[in-house]
Amino acid sequence: MIEFIDLCAGIGAGRLGLEKHGFKCVGFSEIDKKAINTYEAFHGKDDAFLGDLTSLDCDKIPDSDLLIAGFPCQTFSIVGKRKGFEDERGQIVFSISKILKQKNIKYFILENVKGLANINNGKTLKSIVKLLNDSGYNVFHKVLNSFDFGVPQLRERIYFVGIRKDLDVSRFNFPAEQHRLDYDLSEYLIENDDEFILNKNSKKFDTFERYLSNKYNKGKFNLSDLLKEDYLILDTRQSDLRLYDKKVPTLRTGRHGILYTRKGKLRYLSGKEALLLQGFHRDFLSKTKGISNTALLSQAGNAMTVNTIATIVEKLEPVIRLNDE
């Protein structure tokens, strides 16, 4: 059985992508206490928790074949002002490199924001690839969109696959697009609780009406017409309203401004719906009891997309099996 460690684990979406192929998690690391609580609610509480990866004693990390990590993206994103290696959080990749070398791990999968590809005119990306290459790996990377791999979320992320050089694998082909042309959003936007309705008699609705009347939106939208459509997505996170049909914009950790229409009403995107849009199976929704909606939205916004990881592993698994023969 292929075993892996799950670092910067968040709520374990990457883990789920690997487990779809029968791989076994032998340890995980995360520093956000709320995310750890959700992770353990989803995957069970056992002795697999390793603590903060920047202070891990490598001798105490279980042996494994593969490492997966969604290393912190704040410093490489627009929100994080793209400081990159100048920010302490951007140094997490050095801790990952240390673990890869000391544990002699054969393979890795890393994920980060698309912006990493062009920060500092591509110099930061080159530095990361060189670091990983110097750690003993052939490194391959590509920007993939979750929308192309089975969920209706427009989520572009850069993925790195590393294969230890002594395994003599000089090529890795990332998966090709395989999205459905028409997603049925009713499979994902399933929340029926009235608390997620934007009530016309509420202060929040007054705020929304003022938003529609600002200098960017005034005269462009008729709310009555918008409400005639079901599952029309309204993204209010910018000054200008953005509409989406049969697709959902990128979920984000700290900015929750997605609404949608259903049966003549405006509804907020819920944390449970955000999980579905990240590829979590509906079975996980029953495990969210006691976790706040705000926490779920943020944690889903910070997660990997299960489907995308599973599809990358589908391409990597033959390489792994060949080298295990």
Is residue 144 pLDDT above 70, yes or no?
A: yes
What pLDDT is attached to residue 75? 56
Q: Can you tell me the mean pLDDT for 72-87?
A: 54
| Phi and psi, residue 36, nearest 5° | -60, -45
Is there a contact between 28 and 39 (Cβ–Cβ < 8 Å)?
yes
What pLDDT is attached to residue 111? 96
Is there a contact between 308 and 68 (Cβ–Cβ < 8 Å)?
no
Q: Can you tell me the mean pLDDT for 135-152?
A: 96
Instruction: Write down the residue that tokens 């920060």 correspond to.
Output: 119
pLDDT tens digits, 1-25 = 899 999 999 999 999 999 999 999 9
- Supply 2's token pair: 């292929």
Averaging pLDDT over each range in 46-55, 279-288, 314-323, which range is the top one? Answer: 279-288
Average the pLDDT over each of 40-44, 96-100, 314-318, 320-324 and give the range with the smallest value: 320-324
What pLDDT is attached to residue 236? 94
pLDDT tens digits, 194-226 = 999 999 889 999 999 999 999 999 999 999 999
What pLDDT is attached to residue 21? 96
Confidence class for position 79, pLDDT limits 50, 70, 90 = very low
Q: Which element (helix H / strand E) includes 95?
A: helix 92-103
What pLDDT is attached to residue 322? 80
How far, in Å, CA of 26 to CA of 274, rounded? 27
How far, in Å, CA of 128 to CA of 116, rounded? 10
Long-range contacts of 134-137 (CB under 8 A, 24+ apart): 135/97, 135/100, 135/101, 136/100, 136/101, 136/164, 136/165, 136/166, 137/100, 137/108, 137/162, 137/163, 137/164, 137/165
- Supply 153's token pair: 């979320």
Is residue 73 pLDDT above 80, yes or no?
A: no
Confidence class for position 47, pLDDT limits 50, 70, 90 = confident
Q: What value, to the nearest 5°, has the Cα angle with vertex 210 and ends 206 and 216? A: 155
Catalytic residues: 73
pTM: 0.92
CA 116, 54, 19, 163 torsion-angle sign:
positive
What pLDDT is attached to residue 132? 95
Query: How many alpha carbons lie under 13 Å from residue 250 in its C-beta half-sphere?
Result: 16
Selecting from 3.30.360.10, 3.40.50.150, 1.10.10.10, 3.40.50.920, what CATH number does the domain 3-177+304-324 have? 3.40.50.150
How far, in Å, CA of 149 to CA of 160, rounded? 17
Residue type, 154: L
pLDDT tens digits, 157-175 = 999 999 999 999 999 999 9
Is residue 74 pLDDT above 80, yes or no?
A: no
Supply the mean pLDDT for the chain: 91
CA 214, 227, 155, 298 torsion-angle sign:
positive
Q: If we measure between CA atoms, which residue out of 22, 56, 315 comes closest to residue 171?
A: 315
pLDDT tens digits, 82-94 = 455 555 555 788 8
Is there a contact between 117 and 158 (Cβ–Cβ < 8 Å)?
yes
Query: How many alpha carbons lie under 13 Å from residue 253 in its C-beta half-sphere?
Result: 16
Is residue 78 pLDDT above 50, yes or no?
A: no
- The boundaries of every CATH 3.40.50.150 domain in the chain are 3-177+304-324
According to DSSP, the residues that pair with 27 across neighbouring strands are: 5
pLDDT tens digits, 173-202 = 999 988 666 899 999 999 999 999 999 889
SS3 content of the chain, % helix, strand, coil (to 5): 40, 20, 40
